[in-house]
Amino acid sequence: SKTRNQFTSKVNDLVARFRVIDEEFFEELEELLLQADVGFETVMELIDQLKLEVKRKNMKDTAGIQSVISEKLVEIYEAGEKMDSKLNIQADGLTVILMVGVNGVGKTTTIGKLSARLMAEGKTVMLAAGDTFRAGAIEQLVVWGERAGVEVIRQSEGSDPAAVMYDAIRAAKNRHVDVLICDTAGRLQNKVNLMKELEKVHRIISNEVEGAPHEVLLALDATTGQNALVQAQTFKEATNVTGIVLTKLDGTAKGGIVLAIRNKLKIPVKFVGLGEGMDDLQPFDPEKYVYGLFAD
Amino acid sequence: MAFEGLAQRLQGTLQKITGKGKISEADVKEMMREVRFALIEADVNLKVVKTFVKTVSERAIGQDVMKSLTPGQQVVKIVKDELTNLMGGEQNPIQFSRKSPTVIMMVGLQGAGKTTSSGKLATVLRKRHNKNPLLVAADVYRPAAIQQLETLGKQLTVPVFSLGTDISPVEIVRQALEKAEKEHHDVVLIDTAGRLHIDEVLMQELKDIRELATPEEVFLVVDAMTGQDAVNVAQNFDDAVGITGVILTKLDGDTRGGAALSIRTVTEKPIKFVGMGEKMDALEPFHPERMASRILGMGDVMSLIEKA
Ligand SMILES: Nc1nc2c(ncn2[C@@H]2O[C@H](COP(=O)(O)OP(=O)(O)OP(=O)(O)O)[C@@H](O)[C@H]2O)c(=O)[nH]1
Ligand SMILES: Nc1nc2c(ncn2[C@@H]2O[C@H](COP(=O)(O)OP(=O)(O)OP(=O)(O)O)[C@@H](O)[C@H]2O)c(=O)[nH]1
Ligand SMILES: [Mg+2]
Ligand SMILES: [Mg+2]
């Protein structure tokens, strides 16, 4: 249902109920957006801009308001500058992708899906089992490695994640793989020591490979509310996040906070996760996403 | 970028009021707008916010605040009291069945913290209730879910029952119950796979397990960072399997945790425990009053006092 290229019932309902654009119409629109976790500031900004546009175009009734809403939402998302949602994959040599995020958001699963995707594009891929902390984390990544048909570099549970990265980079260079994807343990952004550890992992990677990590992907769970903004900000400070993977968008949550994240922190969403299977990862399409905000 | 708490939010309105002596109904209305802002920013569901603000507003206009010399503090107090009330009384212990074994089922969305909380609960059961629990690995879908539970079981020296992934979760539970009977486990703790509340097939699976195992407790495990969708999730799980309580995880983060209020309001089921970390001892009883302060951004003062 996320792929329908028009507003689904919620906005259409609204338009059907309100023939004329009035204050109450805007109030109900505001509520729809708040319920999609878009957050107050962004919603207010949107409503203000919509009101201006409606005035400028001298629109009286709600016919045709849908496209104006979606345009404005995309405009807010893009904040005046288009950003590429393609992955920064090096033409020659090793590309390193670092996956980060809070606990349970879908980092490891996304790595599995991403491996399959890159393999399908003809790349060779290797994985680094950098979550040496959580019970069963290494085994989980190994299963994904088997599914996607890629090698997983691992050490035992409890070992230093920076050392795992070091090993993995060595192995990736030796075997001339195109892309090394590094898993990390989930950590809440307010855990100072764990964020320091992540900075260290990031540093090892930068020291070992010129220009690496080429991508730092932050996994965000679409079910998360306003805290996602703090997550993005803190992880950006620690690891210079280059893109977001918005996971679990196959549920009923919309993850509307990514609009604010992109607008304020300039971090684009690169992929969306739409399930637990290997193929459930799609490139992010702002327009489609914005339509989906109003889906049931 | 941390959000302002309710107290700060009310500052602006209050400054306008000081010197005026008495406050008007319009002033109360303005304060209620701030209350609404604060709650929505704390991720309380919009519909829940609406009803809540209405209640508080009625109380405020009817006496309490308008006559007060410190209207701001009064509003904060009313809001906090109402919130605390809504969140339920103190302490909701685990219910044990009269006939052994007591069956406890863990359900929830993907990644919420079911498996981790299962391990933590096993610890609580053994240490605080002197029980001999059996953990059951009924997640046959997530890669290495069984290994995860087995690793935790080994750490805790709590036995884990598993039959691999080529068998239905219902059958796993059936055999686990037999084993529990034979080996005199007085609690059976079932870790189920994460699933979407709209996934009919998998929700049916939970119903089947429930029917077979007749659990005394069905805990909905919810991530404290959950946003507006918390109500849908809680409502659907409750409708499908009839939850008896909630475990709110990852509360060691810096989220306000408004989902707690949403869930409590729609299900009217108590939040029994909170997860305060990844380690196996990080499960604590729920304190409504602390949660109310937290949602309002008044700092987790009580917890700090207790820790000191
Ligand atoms: N429905 C759905 N489930 C997902 C998606 N992505 C991941 N999951 C599930 O979410 C749960 C957690 O995923 P993981 O990949 O283990 O998350 P993680 O961030 O690596 O977790 P930690 O390493 O414990 O911090 C698993 O049950 C996944 O199958 C998605 O896009 N949709
Ligand atoms: N910081 C913190 N992390 C937690 C807490 N509870 C669980 N986690 C972490 O959250 C992640 C997901 O926990 P799991 O127990 O695997 O979640 P689950 O619900 O079993 O996940 P699925 O089986 O995939 O649906 C892991 O990284 C846990 O360590 C908590 O209270 N605090
Ligand atoms: Mg992981
Ligand atoms: Mg689990």
CA nearest to B116 within chain A: A135
Output the pLDDT for position A82. 81
- Average pLDDT value for residue range B94-112: 97
How many angstroms does the Cα of residue B275 sit away from the middle of ligand 2? Answer: 9
CB contact under 8 A, A135 and B142: no
Which percentage of chain B shows pLDDT scores above 70? 89
How many angstroms does the Cα of residue B112 sit away from the middle of ligand 2? Answer: 6
Query: Tell me: the pLDDT tens digits for B139-151?
Result: 999 999 999 999 9
> Which of A41-50, A236-245, A267-276, B31-40 has the lowest average pLDDT?
B31-40
The pocket around ligand 2, CB under 6 angstroms, is made up of: A 103-104, 134, 186, 188; B 108, 110-116, 139, 142, 145, 193-194, 221, 249-250, 252, 275-278, 282
Task: Output the CA torsion sign for A137, B157, B119, A201.
Answer: negative
Residues 10-69 on A with a CB inside 8 Å of B are 31, 34-37, 39-40
CA distance A5 to B274: 41
| φ and ψ of A70, to 5 deg | -65, -40
Model pTM?
Answer: 0.95
- Average pLDDT value for residue range B42-68: 85
Output the pLDDT for position B4. 65
What token pair was written down for A211?
Answer: 């220009």
Q: How are the residues of chain A apportioned to helix, strand and coil, as percentages rounded to the nearest 5?
A: 45, 15, 40
Residues 258-287 on A with a CB inside 8 Å of B are 276
Model confidence at B64, pLDDT cuts 50, 70, 90, reads low
Residues of B in contact with A32 (CB under 8 A): none
Residue B139 near residue B299 (C-beta atoms within 8 A):
no
Q: Where are the alpha helices (DSSP H) in A190-248?
A: 192-208, 227-239
Residues of B in contact with A104 (CB under 8 A): 110-113, 223, 250
The Cα-based distances of A173 to A176, A266, B264 in angstroms read 5, 32, 53
> Which of A84-93, A242-251, A266-275 has the lowest average pLDDT?
A84-93
CB contact under 8 A, B149 and A189: no
Distance from CA of A88 to the nearest CA of B (A): 28
Indicate whether B99 pLDDT > 80: yes
**Ligand 1, from A108, A194, A279: best to mutate by most atoms within 8 Å of Cβ?**
A108
- Average pLDDT value for residue range A124-152: 98
Mutate to test the interface with A, among B49, B228, B235, B262 (most CBs of A within 10 A): B228
Cβ of residue B51 closer than 8 Å to a chain A Cβ? no
How many angstroms does the Cα of residue B148 sit away from the middle of ligand 2? Answer: 11
